[in-house]
Structure 1
Amino acid sequence: MTASPALADLHWLLGSPSLLAPAALPAGVADGSAALGESWWRRLDPAAVAAAFEGSTATGPFRLGRHAESLLRAGLARLPGHALLASQLPVRDGGISLGEYDFLLRQPGEAPLLHIELAVKFYVALPHAGGLHYVGPGLRDALDLKLARLFGHQLRLAGTPAGRAALPDPAAAVQPMAWLRGWMFYRDPADVPWAGLAADHLRGWWRRWGEAWPCSRPGGRWRALAKPDWLAPRRLEEAGADLAAQQAEAARQFAAAPQPMMVAEYAPPAEGGHELARGLVLPADWPQPGRLESLLDAVAALPPARPA
């Protein structure tokens, strides 16, 4: 068993299923697959990686994306036979920012330089207008928008003059790679996912506040997940709450601040305390029509470039 939450989260980032099916990736973009991630995990020295996090203190509010970046940076920097040449490397053209390379990883031998773009996303599969729209719980992001930027801009940086100039070796061959992780939350288990998603992508459920929560088993234990616990499943070490108690706590939180809440259901600690399911509980008036309309208008304005 991994020894710390940070190591568990890194293992999850490397070895959990990709969000997208390989066939959904544009030509020339490699998949940061779970198989590749697991092979890297097996080569890492957990003690050396854990030492990178000892004594580190974050300042300011916790940001899940920054947390994931720091975890992957620590792993790639200690991957035997590889060299992490840069992370979050800015690309500018005449003082104008064009973006940044998330990670530039030199592989063994004559293999091309890997340009890895990391994204960890949690989307709600919203039935709307006869289909499913994958939107962020805050209605500020959508899968279509993320993929358009990822494939239309971020992973194309090495093909631009400014992007080439920013590379440690502008003449190096570069292999773009999408490292996509996260969860999709469905209203109904029978909802048919978009065909471009990986068949084994991680799935949870969603409900509006006031609706019944689905349960995996009688006697399950529950807790709300703070954002630092959104990546790797944790075992329930304490008793946890029963469903009624967890919903009572959720009622207090929604009364104070009606914000999306992630919850997890567990087997009792006496039976291992493993996570059984995850859900997103959304405000009773979600989705707010004006915000949803603005988001879907932005999606509709995209060129028809989402891989199928």
Structure 2
Amino acid sequence: MDKLNRAPEKLIQFVEEKASKRVGFYFESLLSYVLNTYPEFDVIAEHLQVHHEGKTLGEIDFIYRDMNTNEVVHLEVAVKFYLGSEAWMNQTLPLRHWLGPMINDRLDLKTSHLTNHQSQISHSPVFQDYAQTNKLPIPTHQSVLLVGYLFRNPNQHLSLPSGSAKEQDHRWFTLSSANEQLNKQHSYIILNKPYWLSKHHQKDNNLLFDQASLFNEVKKIMSKWHRPVLIASIDNQSDDGSLHHYTEDSRFFIVPDNWGGLSKPSQP
């Protein structure tokens, strides 16, 4: 991986050829490059649609052979960004209160779909018939890779789900409370898709906002699109010869004041 960090040109070209700004596709492109480049993996199929009697049973993200163990692995992947909301807490559905920014996705639904449906497709008799017809090996292992970020509101007391990375301490604020949460000493940048995945850094101050200009820009975006906005706080500016490096210190969402996650859901 160090070698890739030093010479990322082939990876950049590979990802750019995919020509998609969706975060999920971008992440899958990165993973596809790793699986297809490193000799430890032999990729057998990617984005394999399984059909039965004219209907699509589902799509398998990856099937690969682990060259160290000779195991055939069915891998399902997803990258997600969830905001925790006390209003949505439910004792019988312990992950329900982790919501996607547009409230069209939830952590409980996503984990259930990945573990109970997507990763089980390769177990089905339909897939095994499909694999035999198309001369594909039957996976011996099913695996799920779910990565992303979790965001908490500083005024709400929510615990992170079991298994979350300890450094997960990202925040979300409403538009009306954002100014009091912003630091006048920091600069900010609005993170656009598909570049939501990694820590942001740049060598100049292009596109950086101060506190006041960021607040005004977010208001303009929300008046047009009415959606949460993902932002990186830029704190450290370290000299590197004659250049400055601007590096992300933290990230947070600002949500509209009437964002759907602030009120209880209509369904229990």
TM-score over 0.5 for the alignment? yes
Unaligned runs of 5+ in 2: 91-95, 240-244
Counterpart residue number, 2:222: 254
How far apart, in 1, do the equivalents of 2:234 and 2:191 lie? 12
CA contact (8 A) 2:88 2:261 kept: no
The answer to whether structure 1 residue 154 and structure 2 residue 122 are counterparts is no
Question: SS of 1:137's equivalent?
Answer: coil
Summarize deviations over 1:249-305 as a string: whole Å, max 9, x none. 112222333221111101253464211111111111111789x635xx3xx6xxxxx
* Aligned equivalent of 1:287: 260
Structure 2 CA distance for aligned equivalents of residues 164 and 201 of structure 1: 41
Question: In the alignment, does 2:161 pair up with 1:202?
Answer: no
Q: Provide the C-alpha distance between the structure 1 equivalents of 2:172 and 2:76, rounded to a whole number of angstroms.
A: 28
- 1:112 matched to 2:71: yes
CA distance in 2, matches of 1:169, 1:189: 56
1:124 aligns with 2:88: no
Please state if 1:245 is matched with 2:213.
Answer: yes
Aligned to 1:83: 42
Is contact 2:186-2:233 (8 Å) kept? yes
Contact 1:104 1:116 in 2 (8 A): yes
Q: What's the CA shift for 1:149?
A: 0.7
Q: Of Structure 1 and Structure 2, which has the larger fraction of its residues in strand?
A: 2
- Residues 53 and 79 from structure 1, CA distance in 2 versus in 1: closer, same or farther, beyond 3 angstroms? same
- Paired residue for 2:149? 183
Q: Distance in 2 between matches of 1:259 and 1:149?
A: 25
Residue 91 of structure 1 aligns with an amino acid whose one-letter code is V
- Deviation per residue, 1:129-150 (Å, 9 max, x gap): 6567001111111011111111
RMSD of aligned alpha carbons:
2.9
Q: Distance in 1 between matches of 2:195 and 2:180?
A: 21
2:109 paired residue number: 145
CA contact (8 A) 2:66 2:73 kept: yes
Name which of 2, 14, 35 aligns with 1:52.
14
Q: AA paired with 1:145?
A: L
- Residue identity (%): 25
| Alpha-carbon distance change, 86 to 293 in structure 1, aligned in 2, over 3 angstroms | same
Q: CA separation in 1, counterparts of 2:88 and 2:224?
A: 33
2:250 maps to which of 277, 286, 295: 277
Shift of the 53–186 alpha-carbon distance from structure 1 to 2, 3 Å rule, reads closer
Match of 2:234 among 219, 244, 266: 266
TM-score normalised to structure 1 length: 0.72
The residue type paired with residue 174 of structure 2 is: R
CA contact (8 A) 2:229 2:253 kept: yes
The letter of the residue matching 1:112 is: E
Q: CA deviation at 1:214?
A: 6.5
Separation in structure 2 between the aligned mates of residue 192 and residue 254 of structure 1, nearest angstrom: 26
More RCO (CA 8 Å, sep 6+)? 1
